Every structure is written in C-alpha cells, then in structure tokens.
Amino acid sequence: MWFGVLLGVLVYPFTQVWLRDELTHAVLDIVAQNVGAPAMRDQVELVGLISAIVAAYTDEFAKLIMLLIVGYVMARPSNPRAVTAAAIAPTAGYALFAAQLTLTQALQGDLPGTDLAFAFIREWAWVALQFGAAYMLARGWLAGRLAAYVLLAGVLHTAAAYTATLDDLGWHTAVVTLILALVGLLAFSWGASLIPAGRR
C-alpha cells in the first residue's frame, strides 16, 4: 500500500496549488460576470461558500481518482478490506502531507501557545474528515454507488472548508475550531461505521 501513500503525497500539491485554485478562480469569474465584480466584493459569505464547494469537491474527486488508480493496480478488488485499503492508503499520504505542511508553517510562525493548540486541533480535524471521506468512497465502491457517496463526502467537506470564511467574518477562533472538530469527528465516525456494513 506504499504505492497509494506515495500517490497521495504526489497528488496533493497538484490538487491544491494548481487544480483547486484554477477552478476556484474560474467559477468566481463566471459568477462575477453575472452579478458584477463590485457586488461580489461585498458578498463574503457567497464567495466563501463557492470557494468551499470547489475546494471540497476538488479534494473528493482527487481521492476518487486515487482510489480508482490504486484499485486498478490491485486488480479491482471486491473484498471490503482491500477496497478500504485502496481508499485509505492514498488518503493517508494526502491528508498527512497536508497536516505536516500546515503545522510546519504554524511552528515556524512563532504563534502563541493557544493559537498553536488550535492549529493542531484543526489539522487533526482535517485528517479525521479526510479519512472519514475515504471510508465513504470505499463504501460507495462496495455498494456500486460512488457518485452518491462522493456527493455526501463533499457536503461534509464543504461544511469544514466553510469554517475558513467564518474566520474571515470574525468568528472566535475557539468556536471555528470547535465547528471544524465536530464536522471532522462526524465525518470520521459516520464513514467508519459504513465499512462493517459492507462485510455482510
């Protein structure tokens, strides 16, 4: 499964630095053409929601493609444990690389102890969400309903990504961190609970 982990590490920069940013700019440009650029500048909530949706589904489609690639390498497994491994391995590389990058930046930023603690909680919440979403994709593969589970994972991911907008709107860091932690916990516990159902 090291192939999957390495794939996740390699895909992360491409997805975050190029694909997500390019898609976000393209979608926001289309919206701005319809509602006007000045109106867009005043719509922090709308811009934040659009950005969160694009970020969420870019991530989920990246994980879906990685699942399909690893599944192909594994000769399209149907065993629940093998499918789960095919989903989790690239997600581990993807999510842990992201957490390491963010936390390294936080540590180098000489943040106060409280802010550093919030940064660690947020990153673990993101890791939990990413793993929960991977479980959902594995369940989608097993149930033959990948599209439905990608949509479900994307909704939870959007809620988590929108917390960045709450930060921009001036919400207290503790409240934003708590919301993100709850979404991450929900995604992980819900996603993990789906896999045993696939063993029946």
Q: What is the pLDDT of residue 37?
A: 66
Question: pLDDT by residue (tens digit) across 22-60?
Answer: 888 888 888 878 776 676 777 888 889 999 999 999 999
Confidence grade of residue 198 (pLDDT, cut at 50, 70, 90): very low
Residue 122, SS3? helix
- Residues ≥6 apart with Cβ < 8 Å to 115: 106, 173
Q: What is the pLDDT of residue 114?
A: 84
- Residues ≥6 apart with Cβ < 8 Å to 25: none
Q: Please check the confidence at residue 175 and state whether its pLDDT lies above 60.
A: yes
Confidence grade of residue 200 (pLDDT, cut at 50, 70, 90): very low
Nearest to 85 by CA among 3, 196, 1: 1
The 8-class DSSP code of residue 172 comes to: -
Confidence grade of residue 20 (pLDDT, cut at 50, 70, 90): confident
Confidence grade of residue 89 (pLDDT, cut at 50, 70, 90): very high
Q: What is the pLDDT of residue 163?
A: 96
Q: Please check the confidence at residue 199 and state whether its pLDDT lies above 50.
A: no
Please tell me the distance from the alpha carbon of residue 40 to that of residue 47, in angstroms, as a whole number: 7
Please tell me the distance from the alpha carbon of residue 129 to that of residue 136, in angstroms, as a whole number: 11
Is residue 29 packed enough to be buried (19+ CB in 10 Å), middle (13-18) or exposed (0-12)? exposed
Structure tokens that stand for 179 in this block: 């919301």
Query: Across the chain, what does the average pLDDT equal?
Result: 88
